[in-house]
Structures are given as C-alpha cells and as structure tokens.
Amino acid sequence: MGFPAQQDQWKALDVSRETLDKLQAYGDLLVKWQAKINLVSNSTLDDLWTRHLLDSAQVFPFIPQEAKTLVDIGCGAGFPGMVLAIMGVEDVHMVDSDARKMAFVREVARITETPVTIHNCRIDDVKEIEFADVVTSRALATLEKLLGFSERLRKEAGRCIFLKGRKAQEEVLEAQKSWDFDYQSQVSLSDPHGQVLIIERMTRK
C-alpha cells in the first residue's frame, strides 16, 4: 500500500510523518488480514489511503478540542475510530459485535501502540461508557437509526459525526420526521458524492 496520492488533503489535516507511518502500518496489516478475513470490500484495497484512511481522518477537525471521550459504533475494521485514535484523539471506544474484526482492531492497536477500548458486543449491550462527548459511525445504518443508537451513549450536549454517502440529504429529511436536531454537512474529502454530517442538540419528537 503506497503513500497517499492526495498529499494536499493530508497536509490540510496537518498529519505528522509519525502518524502517517502508523497509518501505513495499519493499511499494510489490513491487506495482510484481508486475505483470510473479509474486513473491507476487496475493490477498495488498491485505494485504501482514500477510501478508508482519508475518509476516516477527515472527521478529526470536527471533534471539539474539549472532547474527552469518543465512541465509534459499528466500527468494523476500525474506521473511523482507530484512525482518529492514531491521530491523537484520547479515550476512543470501539464498538462492534464481530469478534474477528475486533481481533483485527486489537492487533492494529498493538502494532501502532495506540490505546483504545474495545467493546466486542452489540451497541445496546455497551455498559461501560459513561456518556461520550462524540459519537462517530461510518456505513452502519440510516441517520434515523444512528441517532437512536447514539442516544444512550452520548452526553446531552454531545456531538455526532457520521460519514454518509450520496443519500445523506434524503436521510436527513427522513430523520427529521422523528428527531429535532441541528446539523451541518461538509463535502467528503474522499468522495465528491459523500458528506460528513455534524449533528448537535438532538431530541426525539
């Protein structure tokens, strides 16, 4: 897995050489494990830096500086939570029920010497997290469902940051039928058709 072609985007994110080296190790490990475990779509392997690493890293600027705890729900192979932890976000919790994928995340954490807390269980079964400042997710469920999943995990004033595809605005309109919330959207750095949704002040109608 070669160095990222989108060097300007990485420079804009102000990522250090040491961090890039750790992300390189992450990607190399993913390719190695992918041969035995389906961690990501095989069609994305040739473009890991964009499709997975940059896609995850772009969340970093939207995390409040005062945030103390981040929960990544349905983290799969560790995106975006593991990338954010490597970039320096502290107290990152990774939640997923797939034991094989969580074993991979544990190995990434070990190889890159990045502390994370792993919850190998369903989202509804997480008990150890006492209200996160930030909840993230990528390619897990519709926005309406994600807001429901995050409700019991986040602080009342917490922020949700969700990576969504080309149907992001349709999902916003659908979620607004059941929820009141403030949001902003940013065009994805990794996909011109994707969006990063930053959501705050969420209450059920």
Tens-digit pLDDT profile for residues 16-75:
889 999 999 999 999 999 999 999 888 888 888 888 999 999 999 999 999 999 999 999
Average model confidence (pLDDT) for the chain? Answer: 91
Provide the 8-state DSSP code for 32: H
pLDDT > 90? residue 8: no
- Measuring CA to CA, which residue among 95, 98, 106 is closest to residue 154? 95
pLDDT of residue 113: 97
pLDDT of residue 43: 82
Gyration radius (Cα) of the chain, Å = 16
The side-by-side arrangement of strands in the sheet containing 154-164 is 117-120, 92-96, 70-73, 132-138, 154-164, 195-204, 179-187
pLDDT of residue 127: 78
CATH topology of domain 7-204: Rossmann fold (3.40.50)
Band of pLDDT at residue 4, cut at 50, 70 and 90: low
Average pLDDT over residues 79-92: 96
pLDDT of residue 3: 55
pLDDT of residue 121: 93
User: For the whole model, what pTM was predicted?
Assistant: 0.93
pLDDT > 60? residue 5: no
Token pair recorded at residue 29 = 């490990």
Percent above pLDDT 70 for the chain: 95
Instruction: List, as own/partner pairs, every contact residues 140-146 make where C-beta atoms lie below 8 angstroms and the sequence separation is at least 24, other chains included.
Output: 140/73, 140/74, 141/74, 142/171, 142/174, 142/175, 143/168, 143/171, 143/172, 143/174, 143/175, 143/197, 144/171, 144/174, 144/175, 144/177, 144/178, 144/179, 146/73
pLDDT > 70? residue 6: no
What's the CA gap between 109 and 115, in Å, rounded? Answer: 6
